[in-house]
Structure formats: C-alpha cells, structure tokens
Structure 1
Amino acid sequence: MATTRAGWSGYLATEGRAFFDSPADPRQASDGLSLSFQPEYSTTWDGGRQSFAFVPFLRVDANDEERSHADIRELTWVKAAERWELRLGIRKLFWGVTESQHLVDIINQTDLVESPDGEEKLGQPMANLALIGDWGAIDLFLLPGFRERTFPGVEGRLRGAPPITTRVEYQSAEGRDHVDAALRWSQYAGNWDFALSHFAGTSREPTFRADVDGAGNPVLIPRYELIRQTGLELQGTFDAWLWKLEAISRATPGGRYAALTGGFEYTRYGVFDDADLGLLGEYLWDERGDAATTPFADDLFLGARLTLNDVDSSELLAGVIQDLGGAGRAFSVEASRRFGNHWKLNLEARFFDGDTRDDPLSGLERDDYLQAELAFYF
C-alpha cells in the first residue's frame, strides 16, 4: 500500500545590519533591521514517486520598502519514474561549481535585496522534464512568467547612485510574458563531473538607462534584453583537490562575448584536531573588459573555508576579490553556528573598495557593514 508522508518545517529570523559609515545619499537609512519568515511544507505519496513542496518567503524591513517583499520560492509537484522525472510549478535550482560567482546559473532571477552576493534567488515558474540514462541526464525547461530583479529602494543601503527605479523596459514586445527555454546535459567520467547548458530568452541580468523620476531626480531604468547563452560546468576531484571551471558564451543585442571563472579548492583535513580547512583560489575573466556590466572582468579571488565538524555545525568562510587591473576589491566574511536543536546564528561582514568613480564597487564604498541574523528553526 502506498504511504503518504507530510510535514511542516522552516524558520523565523530577525536580522540587523550596522553600517560603518553614514550613507552617501541622505535619503538612505543609517542602519537596518528586518524580520524574515520561510515555512516549508512537503509531502510524498505513491511510494515516494510523487511529491509536493510549498515554500513561501516573507521579509519585512524597517527602512526600505523595496526590501519588504514576499515570494514563492517553491510550489512544485514532482512525478518520478525510473528513467524520467516531471516537475511542474515554481522552483529554485542551482547550476554551477565555482565559489566566487556563478556564470552559468541563469534559470532563477537574483533576489538582490536579500544579499549583495547574488546567492539568493526568486522562485521561477517552469515545466521541467528530466530524462535519465547511462548517458547522463538531460533536463528540458519551459520558463513562462519572467521575474524582475529586486533592487534596494531610495531609502535602502547597498545601492549605488543614482537609485534604480521600479520602472522597467523589455526588448521583447511580450515583456514579462515572453516564454524562455533551456536545456542542460550533465554526466561524469572518472574523476570529472561536467555539464553543458543552453538558454534562450530574457536575460536575468539587466542593462540600465539613465532617466529622471517625477521629481526630477536622476534614476536608472532596468532594461531586460533577449539573449542566448551556452554554458559549461566542469569539476575534477583528486584526493584533497577540487578543480573547477564555469564558462559561458552569450549572444546579446550588442554582440557576443565570453566569460569564465576557474580555479581550485584544496582541503586540509584534521587541522586544529577535528577541523577541516579549505583554501580557495579562482580567476574571474570577462571578454568585455571595462565595458562589462559586472565588476569582475579581470579579478582574482582568494579565500578560506573553516569547518569545525562539531555538533553545532560551526563554519567560517572568508575571501577577497581583487581587481588585477586596478585597486578595486571586495572583502567578505561569513560565519554560522547552531545553538541547540532550533537556533542558528549567522554573521556576515562585507567591505567594498572601488578603484575609480567608474568602478561598479565605488557606489558601495560607504556601505561596508556587519550583519547578524538569529533564526529559530521548527
């Protein structure tokens, strides 16, 4: 007889941000306080061959109305068979292997008001058919319902100048109703895992057009263009070494360009008794150079990951991205630790140093911050 398993889990968290400098724009808040709530419901039936998941998300921010937002991260039905899986609904999925940036990760839109590192994503409506065989796995995607990137509002921190307006423009006449498509083939051979992907549709990364708002203040208007992107993911595992590469070739209305991120992670096991220490190094390159929409066109990332392997799951990750063509750099430190069965403390610090006024990081130079989040898991 088929059995059904269902249950709720999730977390409720409070977050505080303390900035080291006064804001560049007097309309911006000095510090930040917010609450977030993410419950998760999941159930399986049909002997585990069918499942359903629902993960809503809510944040309420004391200062930035654009950071106060709600989203459905997951609302997905899955039907699994021996050689295929069908997934329908709203999902979050991740492509990529490198640490410093994820060039190939193009399915979900970035939820930038959550974190400046681009790791948080909005849920994406999709139909996904996975075909599984000895030759690997092929994922086919139809992606209706484009999601616009979230940006800090006028009162929010971690934004450049001028602020980015909620007005948007699209290259496609269909706007957010344009249906995107993607496919991905993944496989392994010996010590290597690899994947090839192709995406055709509306870019998740906007360009910007300068304009003014109703009061005559300068603003930037996001414009979403149609692109085609082919991506490669490659990771080799050799004892304590991981060798990683992400590369893309993207066709845009302004022409085609290539970009890559590649490097290694070396882990020393058993340092400080039971702890593991990972050393990371990656090179970030974008063919567009100074014309790139990313600040990481010719940069070096160096980092370290310390995992204590204790009952409280204590971890620390620190890193710096240095512009090899100038003096711009970004530092980050992230740490987390559980307390008992239900509580977790997350600490984060970020520091930004732009080279010139044209450097994308220069707009964040006064936004160095320390953040603490205390979460209750249920």
Structure 2
Amino acid sequence: MVMTGAMTALTKAATGARTAWSGGILATCLLAATAPGALRAQDFTFGGSLDATLRYYPEDGLLRGQGDAGFQTIISGELDTRTRFESGTLVFEVSGLYNTDTGEGYADIPRGYYQYFGDGWDLLVGSNIEYWGVSEGNRVVDTVNQRYTIDQTVDYISLGQPMVNFNLSLGLNSTLSVFGLVYFRDRDLNTAETRFRSPILVSNNDAVYEEGGGRNFDFAARFRSSFDALWGGMDLALSYFDGTDRAPSTLPSICVVPTGVFDRSSCTTDLIDNLPDLHALPYYAKLRRWGLETVWSRGSLQLTFEGAISNAIDETYYSYVAGAQYSFGGIGPTGDTLTVVGEYLYDNRSRIQPLTIYDDDVFLGFAYTGNDVQGTAVRGGMYYDVNSDAQIYTASYSRRIGDAVRVEVAAFGVNSADTRDPLAFAQNDSFVQLSLEYFF
C-alpha cells in the first residue's frame, strides 16, 4: 500500500517483536559484547522518537465490526542505542505502535544484536531487519522478516527476526550473506475492527503449520555484487529462502489434515470461492523462494527489476516488478530534487496461496525532496489494476519544525466500483491524517 525502496528511506521504519525471546537476545548480545577483545566501549549513542497521529475516516466501514466515520488516534515510538567496541558493535532498539480506538498494535525489538567485524567478514547474532528488494510498488523478494500488515496503508512495517548472520566479502564489490533464522512468529491478523481488511476473519489460535508448529530452523542466503555494464553501473543480487512462509494462506479447514499437510483433493475451487460461509484457518506453508534483484543506473536514470520464483503447497508461482526511475535535480532556487517512478507489478499465484492484490497492476509515483534545513518532502503514488480499473492513492507532505519536531500530513484513498474486485471491501477505507513526531 505504500511506496517502498529508495523513496521510503525518508519515512520511519517502524518494526515489532515478542518479549518471549527478547530477554534471550539481549543476554546473547551482552555476552558477545563482553567477550575478550571487546571490553572497552569506544562510542555510545542514544536516541529515539515519539509519534502521535490523528486519523480521520470520512465514511463508515463497509464490513461488520468496523467503526463509523470519525477519528482514530495512533501512538507510536522507538528507542535505539548503539555502542561501538574495539571489535564490534552492540545495537539495541525497541519500537511499538498502539491504536487507542481499536486496541490494535505491536511492541518489538527490531534490532537487538552484537556484530563482530573480522578481516573481510562479520558475524551478527541477535534480532535484526534484513531488507531485500529494489522496487517502489511492492517487494516480492523481501522474505526474511515478518511484517505488521494490520496498518499497511502508510508505512512498510517489518518486524525483528532472531538470526545468526554471516557476511563474507568476496572481493570485486561482491558479498555473500548467510542467515540462520532461529525463531518464527505468527503474523498479527486482522480483527473485526480493522480497516482495509478482507471480509474473512481468521485467528492464529486455529493456525496450522506445515513444518510442525512453524518453529523449525529456517535458512536464507543472498549474493550481492556491483559492476560496470552497458555504459552504466549494475547492482545485482541473488537470494534464496527455505523455511516457513511469513504470510499465511486462508483456507477452509477441510483442506488441511491435522498433521498440517495440505489436502489438494479436498480443496476444490468451489470451497475457496465460498470461504465466507465456511470455517477458515490460517495455514503457514513451507516456502522455497529464489529471488533476483537488478538496478542499472546511468546518470539520473535507473532501470529496476526484482523477481521471485516461489514454491509452496505443491505449486510454483512467479512474481516480479519491473520499472524505471528518473531524478531531476537542481529545481528552484534551493536546488530541490524530483524523482518519478513507473513500474509494472505481476503475480500469477493461485487462490490457495497467501492473498495479494498486486497481480496485474501499474504503479506511478513521485518524491519531491527539498534541499532545505527543514527536510521538506512531498511523496505520492497510484496503483492501477489493469483488470478491474481499481485504484489506490497515497500522498504525504512532511517538514521539520525546529530541530526536534516533524509534522506530516498524509492521505490514503481507494476507488473500486466493481464489487467483484478484491479492493471492493475497502471502498470506504480512505482517510487523511496528521502526525507530529518528536525526536530526542
């Protein structure tokens, strides 16, 4: 629902995790930090932010349980510390979000790790966020971290993932990264009050995991390289993930046997079509995904592509985003920058896979960045569904007030006249909001 990639580097990256493993992560980081050769701290930084948002929905929700037109208040914040030692860095961050009207939200340790730096290699142990992908409209290769999707209309919210991460420099601007993912967290699922949701409600209390409770060890790897190509520069990344899918499928209970195996013979198209009238459950399947990311740049032009081949529930499907960005610099007396982007989004997954609305869409967006001390930024985007003509709009304006406060005005809109379109359930979920963020 939001422009990702380079443009969203200007927005905050809110994240989330469970306290059940937070103490273990912190203890691991502290033990690593106090190991021989890492005793003397050389630098310590501390900071954070608090954000208060007032959101207004001009229309009542269409679905049962959703609120009437009116205001909602959302509080969020983050706190981060970073300590540099002789041989590594200790990072600890906490963040959270709470909707005072619906009771929805999260609390998390997005980053709580110790990173040891060797000669041409480094080792990270703890909770971290690993962003993959180069597109603005959708990240089809970003797989490692769980996401907070209940309020996905403004920010792209990734949640901390406990991991052991080894990075090796291969020379020639190339790096190999290997990840051992030691914990799986269920996705926070929509409640009846959630705006911009599916009409089908499921609970993780009924969740079924193909891999025995979803607590198996997951593996990921990524190779990155930069080089000259075709009179420009090329960034290339190849990735692989083998583990439990972070996004659950929504399936009739008759489609899954108690051991967690998907029963294709029982799961007919008619059953999927009649999910609202059946008992549905979230199904976390075993996922294998191969990813490719490329960025070719020359001057102010960038051509981007990211694609994924995914295999889950005995089915292989393909997803990709292809597009271009162009930046116009030196605008106006202060030398502002305007970046425009156009992308095509495609996904051919079937209805037994986790839901996506980006199956055949065009994304157009822009980011205007002021070259001023207030950090003025204006962003906007539109998704257009080629098949149904449905549209999603996003827009925001932000600017600092003094040294410690940022104000942002944002809007989100949905236009879907076709009742058969997946976005029809969100026709009344457009909103505007005002946010004040204090930094310390």
TM-score (normalizing by structure 1): 0.92
Question: Secondary structure of 2:126's match?
Answer: strand
1:106-129 Cα offsets, whole Å, 9 max, x none, are 111111134336711111010000
1:275-286 map, 5 Å: 275-286=336-347
What is the aligned partner in structure 2 of residue 39 from structure 1?
A: 79
Mapped pair 1:302 → 2:302: no
Match for 2:52: what amino acid?
A: T
Partner of 1:193: 235
- Alignment length (residue pairs): 371
Question: Structure 1 CA distance, aligned partners of 2:352 and 2:385?
Answer: 15
The 3 A distance-change label for structure 1 pair 335 and 148 is: farther
| CA contact 2:63–2:425 (8 Å) conserved in 1 | no
Look up the SS of the partner of 2:110 in the other structure.
Answer: strand
* C-alpha contact (below 8 Å) 1:58/1:69 kept by paired residues: yes
The 1:309–1:220 alpha-carbon spacing in structure 2 relative to 1, beyond 3 Å, is farther
The answer on whether the counterparts of 1:122 and 1:147 sit within 8 Å (CA) in structure 2 is no
Aligned to 1:345: 407
Aligned to 1:203: 245
The answer to whether the 8 Å contact 2:249/2:283 transfers is yes
Residue 366 (structure 1) aligns with: 428
- Deviation of the 1:282 alpha carbon: 0.3
- Secondary structure of 1:192 counterpart: strand
Cα 1:117–1:221 change in 2 (3 A) is farther
Alpha-carbon offset, residue 58 of structure 1: 2.2
Q: Relative to total residues, which structure has the larger strand share, 1 or 2?
A: 1
Give distance in 1, aligned partners of 2:278 and 2:310: 30
| Residue pair 2:211, 2:244 contacting (<8 A) in 1 also | no
The DSSP-based 3-state class of the residue aligned with 1:351 is: strand
Change (3 A) 1:374 1:18: same
Q: Pick from 217, 221, 232 the counterpart of residue 179 of structure 1.
A: 217
**Are the counterparts in 2 of residues 162 and 218 from structure 1 also a CA contact under 8 Å?**
no
When residues 147 and 290 of structure 1 are mapped into structure 2, their CA distance, relative to the original with a 3 A threshold, is closer
The answer to which of 101-110 and 149-158 deviates more is 149-158
**Residue 223 of structure 1 aligns with which residue?**
283
Give the gaps of 5 or more residues in structure 2: 1-38, 254-275
Cα shift readout 1:286-335 (whole Å, capped 9, x = no counterpart)? 13378872111111111111111111111111111111122111111122
Q: Tell me, in whole angstroms, the C-alpha distance in 1 between the residues paired with 2:52 and 2:371.
A: 26
Matched-pair contact (CA < 8 Å) for 1:29–1:63:
no
Structure that is richer in helix per residue: 2
2:198 to 160, 179, 185: 160
Deviation per CA, 1:241-274: give whole Å up to 9, x if none. 0110000000111410111101001111122332
Asked if the contact 2:123/2:167 (under 8 Å) is kept, the reply is yes
Offset at residue 276 of structure 1 (A): 1.1
Deviation digits for residues 143-191 of structure 1 (CA, Å, limit 9, x no counterpart) = 1211222233222322231334343423334223111100000001110
The 1:355/1:296 distance shift into structure 2, 3 A limit, reads farther
In structure 2, the residue corresponding to 1:361 is in which secondary structure? helix
Is 1:109 the counterpart of 2:108 in the alignment?
A: no
User: Match for 1:280: what amino acid?
Assistant: V
Counterpart check, 1:269 vs 2:329: yes
Q: What is the TM-score when the length of structure 2 is the normalising length?
A: 0.80
The SS at the match of 1:177 is coil
Q: Equivalent residue for 1:150?
A: 188
Give SS of 1:73's match. coil
Does residue 95 (structure 1) correspond to residue 132 (structure 2)? The answer is yes
1:364/1:219 Cα in 2 relative to 1: closer, same or farther (>3 Å)?
farther
The CA RMSD measured in Å over matched residues stands at 2.2
Deviation at 1:219, TM superposition (A): 7.1
2: CA distance, partners of 1:17 / 1:100: 23
Structure 2 equivalent of residue 236 of structure 1: 296
Runs of 4 or more, structure 1, over 4 Å off, are 216-220, 289-292
The amino acid of 1:41's aligned partner reads T
SS of the aligned residue for 1:176 comes to: coil
- Asked whether the equivalents of residues 294 and 360 of structure 1 are also in contact (C-alpha less than 8 Å), the reply is no
- Is 105-114 or 229-238 further displaced after alignment? 105-114
Measure the CA separation in 2 of the matches of 1:117 and 1:344.
16
Gaps of 5+ in 1: none
Partner of 2:425, secondary structure, is: helix
Q: Percent identity?
A: 25
